[in-house]
């Protein structure tokens, strides 16, 4: 029974690997050249599948931790395996999505297909920051009910939301114009990478007990998530993430 959580952790890793495969399959990109020499494209459906795989991995990641506590099967083996899986599912896989989004961003420019790969490599800073954050977490025994820095699954889900937002083309493409801007993408990489390696007090989603007083920040976040999902659909993911950071910092004495 105690091996069950590890099986779920490996399932998390498997979906992370599937996300990488889908992100690498870009043969569906359709490039259109206009009279003014500008280039447009359609968002590959494979990137949508990559995002879904990361979302499934996140659900499994939550479930394996829950099962480990339920079955009293926590230990160093599970902790290390969980981190190794997370660096793939929420570090490498989102970095591949960022890599492809940067490619698509440059494709909109004249001669964008000839862009030097050096302009795309910042995408992998996200994975590096995530790996550093996980390594630090593994040797820190004080992060039980709260975190120092944003946990990598939360940051990875923000990146995973980008293909879903783009695929459904919300608000007549106005949002897509922003998320396919290379400077916006570089900013997202820098901000999320910093938040992961920082020591900012961020609330965890584990429950110390079941009292309303001690779990009020989590309940507020849950209510906001439901409202945002109804109003903004997939755009709710970055909205809730921002609220998560603000709540953690504003109520830091109640979230650790």
Residue for token digits 């492809």? 100
Residue 89 counted as domain residue: yes
Residue 198 or residue 45, greater confidence? 198
CA–CA separation, 98 and 125 (whole Å) = 10
**What DSSP designation does 252 have?**
G
pLDDT higher than threshold 90 for residue 159: yes
Return the C-alpha torsion angle 177, 183, 189, 190, nearest 10: -140
Structure tokens at 18: 């599937």
The count of structural domains within the chain is 1
Residue 244 counted as domain residue: no
pLDDT of 30 reads 57
Structure tokens at 180: 């396919």
Residue 40 counted as domain residue: yes
**What DSSP designation does 216 have?**
H
Residue 209 counted as domain residue: no
pLDDT of 180 reads 87
- Average pLDDT of 50-75? 84
- pLDDT band at 12; cut points 50, 70, 90: very high
Residue 183 counted as domain residue: yes
pLDDT higher than threshold 70 for residue 90: yes
Residue-wise pLDDT for 91-137, tens only, equals: 999 999 999 999 888 887 777 667 888 999 999 999 999 999 999 98
The parent domain of residue 121 ranges over: 4-202
- Average pLDDT of 1-29? 85
pLDDT of 88 reads 96
Structure tokens at 66: 């829950």
Helix axes 93-107, 125-138, angle to 10 degrees: 160
Q: How far apart are the first and last CA of the chain?
A: 31
- Alpha helix segments (H runs only) across 88-205: 93-107, 125-138, 152-168, 174-179, 182-197
CATH of the domain at 83: 1.20.120.1760
State what percent of residues in the chain have pLDDT above 90. 48
- Average pLDDT of 177-196? 94
> Any idea what the Cα angle at residue 79 is, between residues 149 and 145, rounded to 5°?
45
Name which of 161, 178, 150, 149 is nearest 237 in CA terms: 161
- Average pLDDT of 30-39? 52
- Average pLDDT of 159-176? 82
Mapped onto helix, strand or coil, the DSSP state of residue 10 is helix
Average pLDDT in the chain: 84
Which residues lie below 8 Å from residue 250, measured CB to CB, with a gap of 6+? none
pLDDT higher than threshold 80 for residue 225: yes
- pLDDT band at 38; cut points 50, 70, 90: very low
Residue 236 counted as domain residue: no
Residue 240 counted as domain residue: no
Helix axes 152-168, 93-107, angle to 10 degrees: 40
Residue 223 counted as domain residue: no
């Amino acid at each position: 029974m105690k091996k069950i959580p590890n099986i779920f952790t490996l399932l998390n890793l498997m979906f992370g690997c599937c996300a990488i495969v889908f992100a690498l399959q870009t043969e569906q990109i359709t490039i259109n050249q206009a009279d003014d020499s500008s280039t447009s494209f359609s968002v590959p459906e494979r990137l949508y599948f990559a995002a879904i795989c990361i979302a499934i991995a996140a659900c499994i990641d939550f479930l394996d931790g829950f099962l480990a506590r339920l079955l009293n099967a926590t230990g160093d083996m599970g902790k290390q395996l969980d981190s190794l899986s997370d660096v793939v599912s929420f570090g490498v896989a989102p970095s591949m999505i960022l890599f492809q989004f940067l490619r698509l961003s440059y494709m909109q420019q004249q001669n964008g297909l000839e862009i030097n790969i050096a302009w795309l490599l910042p995408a992998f800073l996200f994975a590096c920051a995530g790996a550093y954050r996980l390594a630090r977490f593994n040797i820190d025994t004080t992060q039980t009910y709260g975190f120092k820095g944003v946990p990598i699954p939360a940051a990875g889900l923000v990146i995973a939301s980008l293909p879903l937002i783009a695929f459904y083309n919300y608000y007549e493409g106005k949002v897509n114009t922003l998320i396919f801007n290379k400077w916006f993408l570089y900013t997202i990489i820098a901000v999320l990478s910093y938040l992961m390696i920082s020591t900012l007090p961020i609330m965890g989603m584990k429950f110390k007990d079941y009292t309303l007083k001690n779990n009020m920040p989590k309940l507020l976040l849950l209510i906001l998530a439901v409202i945002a999902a109804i109003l903004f659909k997939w755009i709710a993911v970055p909205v809730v993430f921002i609220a998560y950071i603000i709540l953690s910092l504003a109520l830091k004495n109640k979230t650790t």
